[in-house]
């Protein structure tokens, strides 16, 4: 194994009482770089060789890491590469949207092993929670068929749904799922599944997916501009997801735009898929709504062209705002937007507005296309319990 190989890794610490952090650092390095030797890991994480050996042995015993074939090159000492075991952990992700719910199961590497979706019935969360629980049970059953150890290694259930959270309203705002937010969702799902349950907004979930297996993989400063029924921004700052004090960081869709008159309207009323559904008179609750939108986006329908031009102007301003505030390595446009439509938006947003991100030494584009998949939010929801259990976090050092 080439000892000069460039490796991305978070630094560990050789101080006492930090084994939890160092385990996470080791797993993260293997996830980002693939197979690495003990010498690679020691050099990249700045841990002692003995500390690395102890942690690798421990991770092997826990079924999270496995050794590959020994590599001999030249006269140097042979090295053994280690890699993560995908079957070392599993998680379930659940997306609850305004009209549909999606669930899927992933392994430690983010590979999707089972997925299913269902239409949410009328009647709000009282009726919808039963559908959600049945969907989760279906996914768990499918997972056990492909991974016998899945129940023993299931680390949690992640939920993603539209925000903002904890913001009171009239109760009839079509842009917010206030009834679901008032419903004891976490308690209901914890009781019904016996799993640890966590909640994040859909934009953060999409950023979690991009960080695990998408365009943000291995990057430390990224903002994911989420374009779905609404609009949001998932923030990856300093290598960690940032949620804000109330879990509402990145709710850029609520930013008020000046329409030229006295009134101001939120960004997502202009440039979200909901606005396009309304413009095209497509029922967003229909299971074929995405297919209809994709077909129109691939055609020369002039309505799509007019909407794209107007939406791109607002989204161009959004990218400028994001870059000015966060100075990210890149902005990733992602979400449940059909790929053809997302590509047209990216093209129409050029040229981007001048900003502090417009530097000559850039190695990444200011704006790039990420996941354009209706399952991306559920994937990010599933990635969250994996991240919470295994990714390096400052809190892990504090807890020792």
DSSP string, 168-195: ---S--TTS-HHHHHS-HHHHHHHHH-S
Spatial contact of 338 and 378, defined as CB atoms under 8 Å apart: no
Question: 27 and 152 in one domain?
Answer: no
Q: What pLDDT, on a 0 to 100 scale, did the predictor assign at position 147?
A: 93
CA distances, 364 to each of 101, 212, 215, 332, 354 (Å): 34, 18, 11, 11, 16
Does residue 119 belong to any structural domain of this protein? yes
Does residue 273 belong to any structural domain of this protein? yes
Q: What pLDDT, on a 0 to 100 scale, did the predictor assign at position 139?
A: 98
Spatial contact of 91 and 156, defined as CB atoms under 8 Å apart: yes
Q: What percent of the chain has pLDDT over 90?
A: 64
From CA 138, how far away is CA 124, in angstroms rounded? 21
Does residue 29 belong to any structural domain of this protein? yes
Name which of 117-126, 214-223, 381-390 the model is least confident about: 117-126
Question: 332 and 222 in one domain?
Answer: yes
Does residue 55 belong to any structural domain of this protein? yes
Q: What pLDDT, on a 0 to 100 scale, did the predictor assign at position 208?
A: 93
**pLDDT: which is higher, 204 or 260:** 204
Question: 95 and 27 in one domain?
Answer: no
The overall average pLDDT reported for the chain is: 89
Q: What pLDDT, on a 0 to 100 scale, did the predictor assign at position 71?
A: 83
Residue 79 DSSP one-character state: B
CA distances, 213 to each of 82, 261, 344 (Å): 20, 44, 24
Question: 356 and 247 in one domain?
Answer: yes
The per-residue pLDDT for range 34-86, each reduced to its tens digit, is 999 999 999 989 999 999 999 999 999 999 999 998 887 766 678 899 999 99
Question: 181 and 136 in one domain?
Answer: yes
From CA 151, how far away is CA 142, in angstroms rounded? 11
Does residue 250 belong to any structural domain of this protein? yes
From CA 125, how far away is CA 188, in angstroms rounded? 11
pLDDT band at 394 (very low <50, low <70, confident <90, very high): low
Q: What is the CATH number of the domain that holds 307?
A: 3.30.420.40
Question: 78 and 96 in one domain?
Answer: no
Containing structural domain, residue 40 = 19-84
Name which of 253-257, 306-310, 377-381 the model is least confident about: 253-257
pLDDT band at 2 (very low <50, low <70, confident <90, very high): very low
Is residue 400 over pLDDT 50? no
Question: 369 and 226 in one domain?
Answer: yes
Spatial contact of 387 and 208, defined as CB atoms under 8 Å apart: yes
Spatial contact of 386 and 215, defined as CB atoms under 8 Å apart: no
b/e string for 27-38 if b means 16 or more Cβ within 10 A? bbbbbbbebbbb
Is residue 399 over pLDDT 60? no
Q: Label residue 110 left, alpha or beta by phi (over 0 means left) and psi (-120 to 50 means alpha).
A: left
Q: What pLDDT, on a 0 to 100 scale, did the predictor assign at position 19?
A: 76
From CA 46, how far away is CA 58, in angstroms rounded? 18
Last residue of a domain, one of 84, 119, 139: 84
Number of domains into which the chain is organized: 3
Is residue 152 over pLDDT 70? yes
Q: What percent of the chain has pLDDT over 70?
A: 90
Question: 335 and 221 in one domain?
Answer: yes
Residue 351 token pair: 């040229």
The per-residue pLDDT for range 15-33, each reduced to its tens digit, is 544 778 899 999 999 998 9
Spatial contact of 161 and 180, defined as CB atoms under 8 Å apart: yes
Does residue 3 belong to any structural domain of this protein? no
CB atoms within 10 A of CB 112: 15
From CA 37, how far away is CA 257, in angstroms rounded? 53
The per-residue pLDDT for range 266-293, each reduced to its tens digit, is 898 889 999 999 999 988 877 788 888 8
Does residue 400 belong to any structural domain of this protein? no
Question: 57 and 140 in one domain?
Answer: no
Question: 95 and 227 in one domain?
Answer: no
Does residue 12 belong to any structural domain of this protein? no
- Phi, psi angle pair for 113, to nearest 5°: -105, -25
Q: What is the CATH number of the domain that holds 46?
A: 1.10.10.10
Last residue of a domain, one of 36, 52, 84: 84
Question: 178 and 67 in one domain?
Answer: no
The pTM (predicted TM-score) of the whole model is 0.88
Q: Where are the alpha helices (DSSP H) in 214-371?
A: 268-271, 273-280, 289-298, 302-326, 339-348
Question: 358 and 250 in one domain?
Answer: yes
Q: What pLDDT, on a 0 to 100 scale, did the predictor assign at position 178?
A: 85
Name which of 125-139, 198-212, 328-342, 382-396 the model is least confident about: 382-396
pLDDT band at 258 (very low <50, low <70, confident <90, very high): low
Last residue of a domain, one of 44, 65, 84: 84
**242-262 mean pLDDT:** 82
Cα first-last separation, the chain: 33
Q: What pLDDT, on a 0 to 100 scale, did the predictor assign at position 169?
A: 58
């Amino acid at each position: 194994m080439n000892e000069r190989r460039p490796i991305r890794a978070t630094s560990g610490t050789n101080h006492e009482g930090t084994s939890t952090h160092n385990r996470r650092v080791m797993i993260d390095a293997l996830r980002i770089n693939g197979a690495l030797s003990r010498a690679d890991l020691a050099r990249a994480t700045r841990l002692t060789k003995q500390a690395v050996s102890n942690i690798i042995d421990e991770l092997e015993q826990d079924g999270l890491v496995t050794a590959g074939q020994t590599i001999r090159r030249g006269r140097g000492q042979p090295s053994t590469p280690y890699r993560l075991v995908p079957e070392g952990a599993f998680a379930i992700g659940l997306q609850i949207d305004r009209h549909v719910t999606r669930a899927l199961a992933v392994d430690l590497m983010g590979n999707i092993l089972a997925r299913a979706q269902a239409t949410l019935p009328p009647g709000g969360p009282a009726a919808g929670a039963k559908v959600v629980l049945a969907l989760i049970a279906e996914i768990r059953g499918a997972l056990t068929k492909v991974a016998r150890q899945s129940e023993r290694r299931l680390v949690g259930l992640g939920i993603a749904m539209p925000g903002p959270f904890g913001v009171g309203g009239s109760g009839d705002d079509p842009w917010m799922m206030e009834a679901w937010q008032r419903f004891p969702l976490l308690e209901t799902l914890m009781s019904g599944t016996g799993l640890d349950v966590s909640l994040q907004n859909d934009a953060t979930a999409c950023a979690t997916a991009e960080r695990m297996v998408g365009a943000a993989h291995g990057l430390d400063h990224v903002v994911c501009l989420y374009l779905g029924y609404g609009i949001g921004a998932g923030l990856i700052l300093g290598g960690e997801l940032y949620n804000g004090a109330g879990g509402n960081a990145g709710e850029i869709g609520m930013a008020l735009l000046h329409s030229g008159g006295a009134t101001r309207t939120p960004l997502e009323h202009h440039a979200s898929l909901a606005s396009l559904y309304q413009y095209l008179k497509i029922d967003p609750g229909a299971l074929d709504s995405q297919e209809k939108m994709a077909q129109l986006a691939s055609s020369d329908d002039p309505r799509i062209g007019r909407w794209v031009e107007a939406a791109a102007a607002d989204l161009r301003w959004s990218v400028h705002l994001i870059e000015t505030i966060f100075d990210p390595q890149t902005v990733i446009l992602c979400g449940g937007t059909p790929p053809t439509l997302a590509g047209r938006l990216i093209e129409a947003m050029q040229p981007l507005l001048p900003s502090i991100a417009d530097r000559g030494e850039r190695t990444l584009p200011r704006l790039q296309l990420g996941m354009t998949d209706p399952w991306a939010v559920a994937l990010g929801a599933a990635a969250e319990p994996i991240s919470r259990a295994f990714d390096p976090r400052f809190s892990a050092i504090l807890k020792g």
